């Protein structure tokens, strides 16, 4: 018989594999658009939260301005398509690169700030980006927003049914997790963790903390922007309050914190918990009880903070590690 | 720009700054002593504004008198929130504990009081005070909003009183000792937990007073806290986190910037301007204009984290 550690590992892998298969095939058998919409939202928000997690979870630089990068992605692909006729399939990468550039510039300016100060600087930047998107009317049409044409076309990345969106967003979702996994198991990931735990020690050991963080920032911004583009393509309408609101940053932070910061699966778990709650409440209560979903989010978060400070995935992992530890000592 | 206009804008800016000052002092105080960034501060402000509004609405209580009820209530709310949420999670990631509070309070307000904008208008505040003209200074007539003037005067006198409370009273000294070095204070027999509780409640109470002062000027709605919290952060960082005097001066500075940029560039850009000032200050001198030296401050923060 295999040792317990390997068993646990294979069991974990098997569970993940099954979940993945369910995610891939379940949408095919669903006739109800309502549930498909739920899947798409989970994937998109999970991906956004995962992108946030790269700079905030692994690198420990908690950013509250990811709404800016999401908005850059959404506006870039939409504007390129509307004004220049460039397909969003290309536009989303342009948006991603643009967001990376902005993120790197922001990083160059702000990364020397520590803890609270960095958070506050990003908070200010996030709000500035919202103000800019409202007031730069010649580019963004301000609060009126931009609407994409509704005729389905592959070139315009607009589809009649929801299935293509499900698979595109699933692809992004998996890609973000794969990137996180790759970072976690690469030199970059170890550098980031070392820096997060103790910057001075990491520097003394020769880690170029500045450059490493910039790389993480660039990746994180790129993925956030691509998510923004896809969101715009799915909703077909963007305005500052839907893609540039500061609350978006807070929301994805919330998903990742509840799921487990600095883990591959944490943000995904967070999105899988919160999005269905939101959809369920919206469907059943409508606008009769405004703000209820945020109150419930808050209560869940309080519960998680009090009883699982490392997030849900962090707690599960600890439990598994502990059983492993016991089995080792028994051997 | 002629002199009259300049002085007029300056007066408006200073008065606006006075209001920001009182709202921010609680925030900077909590940060200085407890080293936590109270993201929920704006929501406490909102709660205070609502309390003052309802007292006016149902009991026709003058907002300036309602301070006497609102302030103690906010003190109690502060104690409660500290006990329920801040204390048990003091080791958790700095931000999250407060986010939650902010989110929950904001949405409870939305739930109970709906998203309507509410406002209080007082008869005796409707006529503006006219200053001047002062021909010898080359100034024509200038207008002062009485509600803002009253708010400014009360805010400023409270700030001064609070400053002397911290400097002179025994409790104030104990609070300052805790703020300087939590562990040494503990060794000296100071009950730091009690001090934290007190600090949090006093910080919230100060915000409560400013909420009551704001209700004759601003409309209140569940998201009003978010509008002010960002300004408060700008003020607190600019003044140096933890510095009461710094926050007061910074608030007046921000008030002036807001009024002038609003006049010169249009109201939509004023927010962007002071956020850019904010980022610039953070980058050039993160400890703020009146804060501790950077290294010292960082050491303290890291020692706590």
The mean pLDDT value for B3-23 works out to: 86
Asked if the structure places residue B171 within a domain, the reply is yes
Number of domains present in the structure of chain B: 1
pLDDT tens-place values along chain A, 331 residues long: 455 555 556 777 787 788 778 877 777 777 777 888 888 899 999 999 999 999 888 888 888 899 999 999 999 999 998 888 888 888 899 999 999 999 999 888 888 777 677 888 888 888 888 888 888 888 888 778 888 887 787 787 777 778 888 889 999 998 999 899 888 888 888 888 887 777 778 777 877 777 888 999 999 999 999 999 999 989 888 888 888 888 888 888 888 888 888 888 888 888 888 888 888 877 777 666 666 777 777 777 777 777 777 778 878 878 877 776 665 554 4
Interface with A, mutate which of B46, B95, B102, B111 (most A CBs under 10 A): B95
Q: Is A105 part of the contact surface with chain B (CB cutoff 8 Å)?
A: no
Cβ pair A273, A300 in contact under 8 A: yes
Residue A236 φ then ψ, to 5°: 65, 10
C-alpha B228/C-alpha B258 separation (Å) is 13
Give the pLDDT score at A242.
86
Q: Is B303 part of the contact surface with chain A (CB cutoff 8 Å)?
A: no
Asked if the structure places residue A181 within a domain, the reply is yes
Q: What Rg, from alpha-carbon coordinates, does chain B have?
A: 20
C-alpha B40/C-alpha B216 separation (Å) is 22
Return the closest-CA partner of residue B296 out of B181, B173, B195, B175.
B181
Distances (CA, A) of A36 to A23, A24, A153, A167, A230: 11, 12, 20, 10, 15
Give the pLDDT score at B288.
67
Range of the domain at B60: 15-122+148-304
Mean pLDDT of chain B: 80
Question: Judging by beta carbons within 10 Å of its beta carbon (0-12, 13-18, 19+), is residue B135 exposed, middle or buried?
Answer: exposed
Asked if the structure places residue A38 within a domain, the reply is yes
DSSP one-letter string for B275-296 = HHHHHHHHHH-TT-SSS--HHH
Number of domains present in the structure of chain A: 1
Asked if the structure places residue A210 within a domain, the reply is yes
Chain B residues touching A297 at Cβ < 8 A:
103
Range of the domain at A236: 33-247
Asked if the structure places residue B158 within a domain, the reply is yes
Give the pLDDT score at B81.
84
Query: Percentage of chain B surpassing pLDDT 70?
Result: 86
Q: How many Cβ atoms sit within 10 Å of the Cβ of residue B137?
A: 11
Asked if the structure places residue B294 within a domain, the reply is yes
Return the closest-CA partner of residue B64 out of B184, B2, B152.
B152
Which residue bears the tokens 């020692």?
B303
Chain A residues touching B110 at Cβ < 8 A:
290-291
Return the closest-CA partner of residue A134 out of A233, A236, A237, A238.
A238
Whether B37 sits inside 8 A of A109 (CB atoms) is no
pLDDT digits 0-9 by tens, B72-90: 999 999 898 888 777 776 6
Asked if the structure places residue B140 within a domain, the reply is no
- DSSP-derived letter for residue B17 is H
Rounded to the nearest angstrom, the gap between the alpha carbon of residue B259 and the centroid of all alpha carbons in its chain is 18
The verdict on whether omega for the bond into residue B133 sits within 30 degrees of 0, i.e. cis, is yes
Give the pLDDT score at A326.
60
Asked if the structure places residue A5 within a domain, the reply is no
Asked if the structure places residue A263 within a domain, the reply is no
- DSSP-derived letter for residue B139 is B
Chain A residues touching B100 at Cβ < 8 A:
298, 301-302, 305
DSSP one-letter string for A140-187 = H-GGG-EE---S-BTTTTB-SSSHHHHHHHHHHHHHHHHHHHHHHTSH
Asked if the structure places residue A326 within a domain, the reply is no
Give the pLDDT score at B294.
46
Whether A254 sits inside 8 A of B99 (CB atoms) is yes
Cβ pair B183, B249 in contact under 8 A: no
Asked if the structure places residue A172 within a domain, the reply is yes
Three-state DSSP state, B121: coil
Nearest CA in chain B to A64: B95
Asked if the structure places residue A136 within a domain, the reply is yes
Three-state DSSP state, B130: strand
């Amino acid at each position: 018989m295999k040792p317990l550690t390997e068993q646990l590992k294979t069991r974990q892998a098997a569970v993940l594999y099954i979940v993945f298969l369910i995610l891939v095939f379940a949408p095919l058998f669903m006739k109800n658009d309502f549930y498909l919409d739920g899947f798409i939202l989970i994937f998109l928000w999970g991906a956004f939260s995962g992108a946030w997690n790269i700079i905030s979870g692994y690198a420990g630089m908690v950013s509250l301005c990811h709404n800016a990068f999401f908005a850059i992605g959404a506006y870039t692909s939409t504007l390129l398509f509307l004004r220049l006729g460039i397909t969003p399939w290309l536009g989303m990468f342009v948006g991603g690169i643009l967001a990376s550039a902005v993120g790197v510039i922001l990083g160059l300016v702000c990364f020397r700030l520590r803890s609270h100060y960095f958070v506050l600087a990003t908070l200010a930047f996030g709000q500035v980006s919202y103000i800019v998107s409202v007031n730069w009317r010649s580019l963004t049409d301000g609060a009126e927003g931009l609407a994409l044409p509704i005729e389905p076309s592959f070139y315009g990345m607009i589809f009649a049914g929801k299935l293509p969106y499900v698979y595109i967003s699933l692809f992004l979702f998996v890609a973000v997790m794969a990137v996180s996994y790759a970072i976690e198991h690469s030199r970059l990931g170890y550098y980031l963790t070392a820096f997060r735990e103790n910057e001075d020690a990491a520097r003394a050991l020769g880690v170029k903390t500045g450059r490493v963080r910039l790389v993480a920032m660039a990746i994180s911004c790129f993925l956030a922007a691509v998510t923004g583009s896809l969101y715009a393509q799915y909703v077909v309408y963007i305005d500052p309050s839907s893609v540039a609101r500061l609350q978006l940053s807070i929301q994805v932070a919330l998903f990742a914190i509840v799921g487990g910061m600095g883990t591959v699966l944490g943000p995904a778990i967070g999105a899988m918990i919160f999005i269905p709650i939101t959809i369920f409440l919206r469907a059943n209560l409508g606008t009769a009880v405004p703000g209820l979903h945020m109150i419930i989010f808050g209560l869940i978060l309080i519960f998680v903070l009090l009883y699982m400070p490392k997030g849900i995935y962090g707690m599960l992992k600890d439990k598994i590690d502990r059983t492993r530890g016991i089995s080792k000592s028994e051997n | 720009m002629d002199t009259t206009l300049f002085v007029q804008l300056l007066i408006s800016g200073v008065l606006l700054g006075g209001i920001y000052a009182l709202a921010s002092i609680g925030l900077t105080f909590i940060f200085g002593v407890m080293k936590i960034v109270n993201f929920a501060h704006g929501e406490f402000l909102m709660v205070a504004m609502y309390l003052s509004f309802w007292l006016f609405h149902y009991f026709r209580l003058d907002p300036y008198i309602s301070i006497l009820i609102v302030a103690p209530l906010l003190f109690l709310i502060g104690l409660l929130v500290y006990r329920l949420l801040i204390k048990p999670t003091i080791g958790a990631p700095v931000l999250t504990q407060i986010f939650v509070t902010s989110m929950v309070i904001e949405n409870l307000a939305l739930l109970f009081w709906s998203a309507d904008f509410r406002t209080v208008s007082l008869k005796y505040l409707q006529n503006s005070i006219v200053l001047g003209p002062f021909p010898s200074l080359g100034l024509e007539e200038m207008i002062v909003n009485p509600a803002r003037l009253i708010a400014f005067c009360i805010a400023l006198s409270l700030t001064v009183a609070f400053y002397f409370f911290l400097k002179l009273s025994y409790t104030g000294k104990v609070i300052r000792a805790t703020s300087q070095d939590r562990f040494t204070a503990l060794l000296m027999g100071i009950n730091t937990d009690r001090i934290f509780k007190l600090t949090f409640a006093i910080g919230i109470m100060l915000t409560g007073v400013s909420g009551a002062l704001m209700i004759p000027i601003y409309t209140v709605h569940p998201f009003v806290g978010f509008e002010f919290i960002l300004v408060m952060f700008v003020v607190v960082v600019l003044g140096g986190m933890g510095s009461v005097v710094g926050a007061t001066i910074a608030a007046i500075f921000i008030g002036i910037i807001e009024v002038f940029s609003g006049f010169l560039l249009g109201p939509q850009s004023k927010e962007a301007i002071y956020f850019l000032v904010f980022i610039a200050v953070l980058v050039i001198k993160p400890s703020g204009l009146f804060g501790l030296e950077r290294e010292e401050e960082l050491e303290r923060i890291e020692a706590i984290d």
